[in-house]
């Protein structure tokens, strides 16, 4: 079964997908006023949506990459009028243009006295990214103490506020006394706010998004009392894949990495290979840099990023290491999921890698709060376990 999308709608959809919200909005406004976009002579043509040979989870996969779904669910839905469809797209474009392109902005928890959660931005030759920084109240009472810093990379469709709410990382920062930074991907870079882990220009040191994320990290280190030996990075889904890239590219900057429902560094080089990696698991790219301790969480029922990718992240983290000792623990989160935890330690007893495989869990932050998106409150508590793992590690800087 197929559905032929009108050329004006196809063009508005294409512009929205590319993050060109100004152009898409202008086209939508013309259509709502009864005008027509340029015809096929100007390069527009109708788009046929094919219902055959499309994976069942294609819609979720497309969302993770900032692409718009063209699968069977679109094909079998009843046809709607062009004006109705365009109005829906207009509402989506308007919502995604708010707050720097984020449609969701949860109500934040009240800040403890003396704490702050402020917005800032960082720019370099690769562009500009906004970020938010949580500073716990303990920092004002112990101003001479250097604090650890955890950089958190959100998943697709998320914002710093959403990710902070879902992971509860700010509450842990208040409890244990560390800084948390949340870089924000913008719709102009990816329409679904995904970090572009699958683009070669965003996979290397001092280039693209890695240079921006590292720049944000270094700016915070300059402006605040950060312990340079205790700087860490973690992420969910596309953010997890980006965190793996950051650990690979900046092993001198980050003492440890957390990858939740993500993919290994270098998992893809374009959209087709990204879809393949997400669907069946990525091939392992050997890490040539020094060992970066890594903690991994992945649900074994993840319909978006295949669980084999968790194995690939672990294999990449362990690649340069030799003579490791593995132990395995089995457990259950209180009232929630069971899990298997593989621990790999070197001859000195230092943990190099922890891999948590969570039974019957999907594509969501384990132990997260329902006040944020893409969370699974049935545990285990990924945030607390990451902080515990991180604080066991530090760089030699």
Can you give the three-state secondary structure of the chain, one letter per residue? CEEEECHHHHHHHHHHHCCCHHHHHHHHHHHHCCCCCCCHHHCCCCEEEECCCCCCCHHHHHHHHCCCCCCHHHHHCCCCCHHHHHHHHHHHHHHHHHHHHCCCCCCCCCCCCCCEEEEEEEEECCEEEEEEEEECCHHHHCCCCCEEEEEEECCCCCCHHHHHHHHCHHHHHHHHCCEEEEECCCCCCCCCCCCCCCCHHHCCCCCHHHHHHHHHHHHHHHHCCEEEEEEEEEEECHHHHHHHHHHHHCCCCCCEEEEECCCCCCCCCCHHHHHHHHHHCCCCCCCCCCCCCEEEEEECCCCCCCCHHHHHHHHHHHCCCCCCEEEEEEEECCCCCEEEEEEEECCCCCEEEEEEEECCCCCCEECCCCCCCCEECCCCCHHHHHHHHHCCCCCCC
What global pTM score does this model have? 0.77
Domains and CATH numbers, the chain: 2-100 (no CATH), 116-390 (3.40.50.1820)
pLDDT at 109: 72
pLDDT at 290: 77
pLDDT at 266: 93
Instruction: Kindly give the confidence (pLDDT) of every residue in the chain, 397 residues in length, as a single tens digit, with 9 standing for 90 and above.
Output: 333 445 655 666 666 556 566 666 666 555 545 444 444 333 444 343 333 334 445 545 555 666 554 444 433 333 444 444 444 444 444 433 333 344 445 656 788 889 999 999 999 999 999 999 999 997 655 556 899 999 999 999 999 999 999 999 999 999 999 999 999 999 999 999 999 999 999 999 999 999 999 999 999 999 999 999 999 999 999 999 999 999 999 999 999 999 999 999 999 999 999 999 999 999 877 765 678 999 999 999 999 999 999 999 999 999 877 789 999 999 999 999 999 999 999 988 899 999 999 999 999 999 999 999 999 999 999 999 999 999 999 766 5
pLDDT at 82: 47
């Amino acid at each position: 079964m197929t559905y032929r999308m009108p050329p004006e709608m196809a063009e508005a959809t294409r512009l929205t997908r590319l993050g060109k919200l100004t152009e898409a909005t202008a086209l939508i406004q013309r259509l709502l006023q009864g005008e027509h976009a340029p015809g096929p002579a100007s390069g527009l043509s109708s788009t046929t949506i094919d219902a055959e040979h499309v994976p069942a989870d294609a819609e979720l996969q497309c969302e993770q990459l900032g692409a718009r779904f063209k699968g069977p669910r679109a094909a079998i839905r009843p046809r709607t009028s062009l004006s109705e469809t365009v109005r829906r797209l207009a509402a989506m474009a308007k919502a995604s243009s708010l707050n720097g392109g984020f449609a969701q902005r949860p109500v934040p928890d009240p800040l403890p006295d003396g704490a702050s959660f402020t917005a800032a931005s960082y720019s370099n030759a690769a562009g500009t990214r906004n970020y938010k920084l949580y500073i716990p109240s303990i920092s004002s009472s112990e101003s001479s103490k250097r604090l650890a810093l955890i950089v958190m990379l959100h998943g697709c469709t998320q914002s710093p506020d959403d990710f902070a709410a879902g992971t509860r990382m700010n509450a842990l920062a208040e409890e244990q006394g560390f800084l948390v930074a949340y870089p924000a991907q913008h719709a102009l870079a990816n329409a679904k706010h995904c970090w572009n882990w699958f683009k070669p220009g965003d996979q290397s040191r001092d280039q693209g998004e890695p240079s921006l994320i590292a720049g944000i990290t270094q700016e915070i280190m300059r402006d605040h009392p950060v312990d340079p030996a205790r700087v860490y990075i973690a992420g969910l889904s596309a953010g997890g894949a980006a965190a793996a890239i950051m650990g690979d590219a900046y092993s001198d900057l980050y003492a440890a990495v957390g990858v939740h429902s993500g993919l290994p560094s270098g998992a893809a080089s374009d959209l087709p290979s990204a879809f393949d990696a997400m669907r069946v698991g990525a091939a392992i790219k050997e890490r040539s840099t020094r060992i970066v301790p890594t903690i991994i969480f992945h649900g074994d029922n993840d319909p978006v990023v295949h669980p084999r990718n968790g194995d690939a992240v672990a294999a990449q983290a362990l690649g340069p290491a030799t003579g490791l000792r593995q132990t395995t623990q089995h457990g259950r989160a209180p009232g929630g999921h069971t899990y298997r935890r593989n621990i790999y330690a070197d001859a000195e007893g230092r943990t190099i890698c922890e891999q948590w495989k969570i039974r019957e869990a999907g594509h969501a932050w384990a132990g997260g709060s329902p006040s944020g998106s893409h969370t699974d409150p049935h545990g285990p508590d990924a945030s607390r376990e990451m902080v515990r793992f991180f604080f066991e590690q530090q760089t030699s800087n």
